[in-house]
Amino acid sequence: MPNAYDLSGRSAIVTGGAKGIGRAIAELLAASGARVRVWDAAPASIPGVACDVVDVTRPDQITAAVERLGAGARVDVLVNNAGWLGALGPFEHHAVAEWQRVLAVNLAGTMQVTQAVLPRMIEGGGGRIVNMGSLAGKEGLGRLAAYSAASGGVIAFTKALAREVVGAGVLVNCIAPGPIDTDMIRGLGPETVDAMIAASPLKRLGAPAEVAQLVAWLCSDAGRFHSGAVFDFSGGRAGY
């Protein structure tokens, strides 16, 4: 039976919410009573959710999206989910423009959106920020060096910001998923996906809806004592 969370009256922004994990998060937050707005570089249509085309690598688009919220509009929840895996292969052959994009979306994008939204959250008396990292950011994955580096940066950013803003009532946490059943993971090819499943103690990929449950829990009253934490979501695959 699905868990239930009460987020009535709260306003949430989910980046990268057009599909995959982000869409599952947006749908669950909306079903839990939150007013949800998705920011994604691709157009999206999600029942009960407002969707804006926003590229998180473009500060001008982020600023414009914040202004469209209206003067004094609260933001109670921010989920930084937008991500880019990049190419799978040896770093020596990883095109500079490609790995720079990985850093721009995953790390710089998270920081830019947070910096733009955080003043609204502080003015409103507090809120919750959930940054989506990756198990790669804790353990490093060969042939995904740039993605691992960007994810590690998200983890460190989470811990640093959490210390900085907890006094303002803003709780900042990170979720570090292992392989989740999304187009991004499936795009790595059947051989790689099969190897990921074989390496999982649960012998399967995680589901986007399962990640969404952890996000909703962190954003609910049940998560009121958590800040600066990194939650593994790997089906037992995490090494530490």
pTM: 0.96
Q: How far is CA 3 from CA 13, 66, 82, in A?
A: 21, 31, 25
Give the chain's domain count. Answer: 1
On whether residue 210 sits in a domain, the answer given is yes
On whether residue 162 sits in a domain, the answer given is yes
Residues acting as catalytic residues = 147
* Per-residue pLDDT in tens (0 to 9) along the chain, 240 residues: 468 899 999 999 999 999 999 999 999 999 999 999 999 999 999 999 999 999 999 999 999 999 999 999 999 999 999 999 998 999 999 999 999 999 999 999 999 999 999 999 999 999 999 999 999 999 998 999 999 999 999 999 999 999 999 999 999 999 999 999 998 888 888 998 999 899 999 999 999 999 999 999 999 999 999 999 999 998 888 876
Return the CATH number at 147. Answer: 3.40.50.720
Nearest to 133, CA basis, from 115, 158, 161:
158
pLDDT for the residue numbered 240: 66
On whether residue 208 sits in a domain, the answer given is yes
On whether residue 139 sits in a domain, the answer given is yes
The CB-side HSE value for 209 (13 A sphere, CA atoms) comes to 5
On whether residue 3 sits in a domain, the answer given is no
On whether residue 238 sits in a domain, the answer given is no
On whether residue 2 sits in a domain, the answer given is no
pLDDT for the residue numbered 196: 87
- For residue 52 the two structure tokens come to 């804006």
On whether residue 1 sits in a domain, the answer given is no
Domain encompassing residue 35: 11-233
